[in-house]
Amino acid sequence: GLALLAAVREYRGFLAQPAPNQPKAMVDRVENLAAIEGEDGKTKKKRAILDKNFHRNFRKLLQIALGDWCSRLKLLAFTFALFTRTQITMSMSSLLGVVTRTMIERNRTAFQLNIAKLVVLSMPAAIINSLLSYLASSIATDLSENLVNYCHSRYLKGMTAYQVLRLSSRVTDVDQRITQDIEEWASSAVLIFQNIVKPGIDVVLYSRALTQAVGVGGPTVMLGYFVLSSVALRIMSPGFGQLTSRLQKLMGFYRFLHMRFAARAEEIAFSYGNDWERALIEGAHRSHDAHRRFLQRQSLLMSILDNYIIKYGATVVGFAFVLSKIAFAEGGDAGGLGGAGAGSEAGHLTEKFVRSSRMLTTLSDAIGRIVLSYKQISIVAGFTERVTRLVECVETVDRNQPRRPNESKTPEIVFDALKVAVPGSEDEPLLRHLSGKIKKGMHTLIAGPNGCGKTCLLRVLRGKTKENCV
């Protein structure tokens, strides 16, 4: 195991090499985009993003997304369906053990009766499975719809969109965040809930059942193995949260270049700028494609480790430490469940082995899903960071909307010591103490060189900017 981890660490150094042949100009443009959003363009470990800020931001988004009672009731029904699914699976495991015992004992009547019970039990199992898929997709749609409506109610209100797009540099690719990132966040959030709650229920119920069957030692060994495995995987795992966030950022920049090209097609054609625009667009696409392939290589390595340590390693540990107690109990008695004859004893042993092995497999899968949920949580952290930045920017701009003068109370417009400055450069105003009065019906001509702040007066009156900004 230690040799494998050492080899993996060396191989990760090879995987971490950046993709070659990326245009320097394109890399600079992408790094500038990262700098605008307050990042340094470098991939960090997931510990840098899974902090208290992530938990606070995730709770904030969840409160917005679960704002209506319908979504909360669906989430409650989803939880109940997960619990019911576990109960049905445990019942089927017990029935399979009984079916195996009756087959070994050659009891045809009991065998047919238990097969019929399995057929009847499979009907609600099929219904629950389909219901879980429907509820998961429905809850994800509700979360996405509520969050999008919340952003629309503020982003499309008054001059907020103008302020965010033209005057605020805190958020770029707004369309990418609203149309795609929110939907990805909602789907990932539901998947996390399903991958934690359902395995959590399985761990509690199956650990209790295995403890009653083989004692407390078996489940304890399994839990200890998974704790050590989770620590090792967290040490070896790359920062999937930052990698996913950067992938979405590069996709948003690539989409932005296409939108800009479509909006300015006539100007580009007139000035023969198609070659330059093509270089920018193709460079953005190469950067996005290179980062996506880098993420795929990282995922490949972690998938190999996950399958080896969690899936197959857990199976070996389970059969070695748990089921061996059933197969090699003292005196050939499987935990004291002996029978009157050899056939009865073999039947009871087989029943207990089949039931415990299925429970052990389900328990291993449940704990493994909890351990592997760190990868999905890291991905959600990336979407949470992007969506939260959008929500906070829209909320801030909406709260600080410029006050439009109340023109209904007076027939004149008065400027009293108005300061004219470009947003972000209030320390260097274009004009200081601008004063004047415009009465109703008066024709006014404002003249001056370029950049002196002439348009500021109309922007202030329209409410597009504050009284002290251009």
Contact, 147 vs 61, CB < 8 A?
Answer: yes
**Are 192 and 264 in a shared domain?**
yes
Give residue 460's pLDDT: 67
Inside any domain, residue 167: yes
Choose one of 399, 423, 454: the last residue of a domain. 399
3-state secondary structure 385-411: HHHHHHHHHHHHHHHCCCCCCCCCCCC
**Are 385 and 420 in a shared domain?**
no
pLDDT in tens, the chain (470 residues): 544 444 445 444 444 444 334 444 444 444 454 443 434 444 344 444 566 788 899 999 999 999 888 989 999 999 999 999 988 988 888 888 888 888 888 888 888 898 898 889 889 999 999 999 999 999 999 999 999 999 999 888 877 787 777 766 667 778 888 988 999 999 999 998 988 888 888 888 888 877 776 667 667 777 787 778 777 777 777 777 788 878 888 888 888 888 888 888 888 888 888 888 889 999 999 999 999 999 888 888 888 887 777 777 777 777 776 666 666 654 444 444 444 455 567 767 777 777 777 777 777 778 778 877 777 888 888 888 889 988 988 888 888 765 555 545 667 777 777 777 666 566 677 777 777 788 888 887 878 787 777 776 676 666 655 544 44
Q: Which residue from 34, 9, 16 is spatially nearest to 291, judged by alpha carbons?
A: 16
Q: Which residue from 99, 125, 93 is spatially nearest to 114, judged by alpha carbons?
A: 99
Distance CA 376, CA 241 (A): 9
Inside any domain, residue 222: yes
Element spanning 63, H or E: helix 52-65
Inside any domain, residue 335: yes
Domains in the chain, number: 2
Q: What is the dihedral of CA 7, 13, 16, 21, to 10 degrees?
A: -120
**Are 390 and 436 in a shared domain?**
no
**Are 253 and 363 in a shared domain?**
yes
Contact, 72 vs 329, CB < 8 A?
Answer: no
Give residue 11's pLDDT: 42
Contact, 301 vs 292, CB < 8 A?
Answer: no
**Are 233 and 150 in a shared domain?**
yes
How far, in Å, are 208, 221, 223, 454 from residue 322 at the CA level? 14, 8, 12, 82
Inside any domain, residue 446: yes
Distance CA 154, CA 397 (A): 9
How far, in Å, are 95, 105, 213, 339, 347 from residue 342 at the CA level? 22, 10, 21, 7, 8
Residue type, 166: R
Packing angle of the helix pair 217-236, 2-15 (nearest 10 deg):
30
**Are 367 and 439 in a shared domain?**
no
**Are 344 and 452 in a shared domain?**
no
Choose one of 370, 399, 428: the last residue of a domain. 399
What letter would DSSP give residue 465? S
**Are 233 and 333 in a shared domain?**
yes
Q: Which residue from 357, 353, 360 is spatially nearest to 328, judged by alpha carbons?
A: 353
**Are 122 and 188 in a shared domain?**
yes
Contact, 355 vs 97, CB < 8 A?
Answer: yes
Q: Which residue from 469, 274, 378, 421 is spatially nearest to 45, judged by alpha carbons?
A: 378
Choose one of 399, 427, 445: the last residue of a domain. 399
Q: What CATH number did the domain enclosing 284 receive?
A: 1.20.1560.10
Inside any domain, residue 428: yes
Segments forming the whole domain that contains residue 232: 17-399
Q: Which residue from 469, 446, 449, 444 is spatially nearest to 459, judged by alpha carbons?
A: 469
**Are 319 and 342 in a shared domain?**
yes
Inside any domain, residue 468: no
Give residue 110's pLDDT: 86
* Residue 365: how many other CB atoms lie within 10 Å: 17
Q: Give CA 227 to chain center in angstroms.
A: 23
Distance CA 269, CA 104 (A): 82
Distance from the first to the final alpha carbon of the chain? 64
Inside any domain, residue 90: yes
**Are 201 and 345 in a shared domain?**
yes
Identify any residues that bridge with 434 across adjacent strands, giving them in sequence order.
418
Inside any domain, residue 3: no
